[in-house]
């Protein structure tokens, strides 16, 4: 396989918006919550949008050689990359560690990194507890709908990076759009969802018991995004660049700003491309790019 342009899987939830429609990302959807830009999951596979495999899923078309030799380290493909538009607050939630998830869910846990793409005035994110709490204290705040008072709120700006480790309580706030790079896991435990109901009028499912089991009750201390054992993630300003993917891993190339060509394919803002392991891509143009690969 050569370099290919990707077409994301589109997810629409009650908190989504229409920010990405203006970039021709899923224009037929009234509401877009998440665009799965790199997904080899059966519940939302990314499609190929160029070349001989156009219309096929990356899951079905990419060989082990295309993915790279590092994929053999993992029981399943280790990375999931999303664009997220929070037109309303997401639920207050937490993700389990590998240790807990493997023992209780027959799955890996979820570590994720957020790169802020854009934000409305005064919008932000909730990350971590604002002091040490006991399990009983958090349970009481959930009972009386005051859990927000226990969280840190950070107003965000484009270009900022946040690390969300397993056990860290968190939520994306209204008016924030992010690039999320995460472990390929669907495990999310909701603690609070503003008493919202789904499209059928039913309360959205909560997972309070499990969430309380995995929550980190210590005061949150912000840290710089450290290396993860699952993926490499780099943001670069580009003015013509040649990229070589090693035999160990593919590279996901996502344009965050700018326009031009990658090999013979045009790129615009928020376009994503899959560069197979062992292949080369020549970027002709200027912009800011995200480069993501296995580790």
Active site residues: 190
DSSP string, 134-181: -HHHHHHHHHTT-GGGGEEEEE--TT-EEEE-TT--EEEPTTEEEEEE
DSSP-derived secondary structure letter, 272: E
Six token digits for residue 48? 């190929």
Six token digits for residue 40? 């080899």
Q: How many other C-beta atoms can be found within 10 angstroms of the C-beta atom of residue 122? A: 9
Six token digits for residue 33? 């919550």
Burial of 169 (0-12, 13-18, 19+ CB in 10 A): buried
Closest CA to 133 of 208, 56, 61, 215: 215
- Whole-angstrom CA distances from 167 to 44, 62, 211, 219 are 25, 33, 8, 12
């Amino acid at each position: 396989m050569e370099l290919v342009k990707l077409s994301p899987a589109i997810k629409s939830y009650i908190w989504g918006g229409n920010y990405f429609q203006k970039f021709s990302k899923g224009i037929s959807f009234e509401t877009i919550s998440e665009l799965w830009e790199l997904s080899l999951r059966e519940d939302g596979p990314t499609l190929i949008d160029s070349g001989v495999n156009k219309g096929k899923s990356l899951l079905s078309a990419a060989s082990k050689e295309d993915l790279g030799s590092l994929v053999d380290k993992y029981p399943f493909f280790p990375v999931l990359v999303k664009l997220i538009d929070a037109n309303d607050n997401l639920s207050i939630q937490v993700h389990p560690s590998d240790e807990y998830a493997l023992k209780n869910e027959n799955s890996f846990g979820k570590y994720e990194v957020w790169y802020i793409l854009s934000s409305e005035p005064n919008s932000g994110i909730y990350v971590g507890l604002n002091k040490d709490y006991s399990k009983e204290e958090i349970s009481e705040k959930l009972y009386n709908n005051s859990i927000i008072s226990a969280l840190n709120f950070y107003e965000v700006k484009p270009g900022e990076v946040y690390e969300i480790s397993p056990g860290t309580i968190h939520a994306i706030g209204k008016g924030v759009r992010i690039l999320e790079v995460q472990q390929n896991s669907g495990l999310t435990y909701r603690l609070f969802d503003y008493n919202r109901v789904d499209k059928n009028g039913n309360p959205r499912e909560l997972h309070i018991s499990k969430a309380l089991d995995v929550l980190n009750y210590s005061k949150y201390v912000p840290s710089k995004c450290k290396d993860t054992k699952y993926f490499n993630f780099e943001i670069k300003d580009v003015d013509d660049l040649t990229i070589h993917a090693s035999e160990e891993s593919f590279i996901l190339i996502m344009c965050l700003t700018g326009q031009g060509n990658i090999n013979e394919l045009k790129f615009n803002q928020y376009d994503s491309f899959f560069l197979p392991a062992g292949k080369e891509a020549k970027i002709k143009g200027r912009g800011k790019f995200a480069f993501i690969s296995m580790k």
